[in-house]
Amino acid sequence: MSESSTAHGGPPRGPAVSLEDLLFDYPGGDIILRSFDLYDFRVLKMYIFHASPVLGERVLAADHAKSGSPIIFTETATASLPVVQLPDSGAVLFSLLTYVFPVQPILPSIVEKTMELLSAAQKYKMDAVLTHIRNHIAQQHPPFIREENSLYIYSLAQKYGLRQELLKAARCTLRLPTLTIEDLGEKLELMPGAYLHELWKYHQRVRANLTSGFKDFLSRLQHHGIFSASCLANPTDSGAPSWLDIYISSIGGCPSLFDLSTFHMKLALHVQVQPPSKSRRGSGGCRACAAIPSKIVLAFWASLSTVYNESVTEVRGSNLIELG
């Protein structure tokens, strides 16, 4: 085993591993797992049995040398061990084993290899290992799934059948300004058209849910007490100042507008430049809204965030995104 994989614990992401470092020779190993690119990993059967019922069956088959099983026997200077041939690459199998054995877990340094790792753990029904890997990924800084790679990870999640990552990536794509062919441009090369169509349908459902949720929120806005009756903005049917009604309503059509900095910008513009009203001439700042305490503004944003999160989660929970 390489030196980097012998320490316990370690940082969230291990060092990048070159193909020359793919050594996993566990002390007392009694079976060999072989990758499709012919890297051998000598491991203990009992760990494999405990981690994966799927691999456990293949190890048992190797032990009993059943006909038709993918078994090869290798002669070495020290032992003759059964070999189980696996369809995974050496890099992915190495990382997977670091989550099975009591060594430092190492995530691949490449996004697609990390998705392959998750797929392998899912394929071999390694539930505890899969949870361990996902918890490890959740510690990454910057986050593993973020706006700039959300489309790529969404496409990979479709490819590898990873529903949890699919939904996280799909939600992250809501931060993109638009999802049209013209705006996506070269990003369309990242995924087949069927995947993009599923994502588009997801966005449509989220927008409809947000529009409904925010409409109800606006009807109850007076109960939040954030805007004084002396606010000079012309109120809408909801009783909210027109600028706020327009901002909240626009999120349904473009979820990327749901952003605290954007909200503060809209509020600042309202405070600084107030349209004329029938009761006065000229224009000026809204002193009433300028005097709202920051804790009240943050409490209002928290309420708005609850509506946003619940509306998006309802779509996620309905399992309306289909895996390819």
CATH number at residue 33: 3.30.710
The pLDDT score that the predictor gives to residue 119 is 97
Asked if residues 54 and 41 have their Cβ atoms less than 8 Å apart, the reply is no
* Low pLDDT (below 50) residues in the chain: 1-17, 19-20, 66-69, 71-78, 278-282
- Mean pLDDT across the chain: 80
Specify the pLDDT at position 196: 84
Residue 136's H or E segment, with its range, is: helix 127-138
Q: Is residue 198 part of a domain?
A: no
Answer whether the bond into residue 142 is a cis peptide, omega within 30°: yes
Domain extent at residue 80: 3-106
Question: What is the pLDDT at residue 167?
Answer: 93
Q: How many structural domains is the chain composed of?
A: 2
- Boundary of a domain, candidates 106, 123, 147: 106
pLDDT one-digit tens code per residue, 248-269: 989 998 999 999 999 999 888 8
Please name the helix (run of DSSP H) or strand (run of DSSP E) that holds residue 40, with its range, or none: strand 40-43
pTM as predicted = 0.78
122 is written with which tokens?
A: 């899912």
Instruction: Report whether 239 contacts 227 (CB < 8 A).
Output: no
pLDDT at 176: 86
Last residue of a domain, one of 49, 84, 106: 106
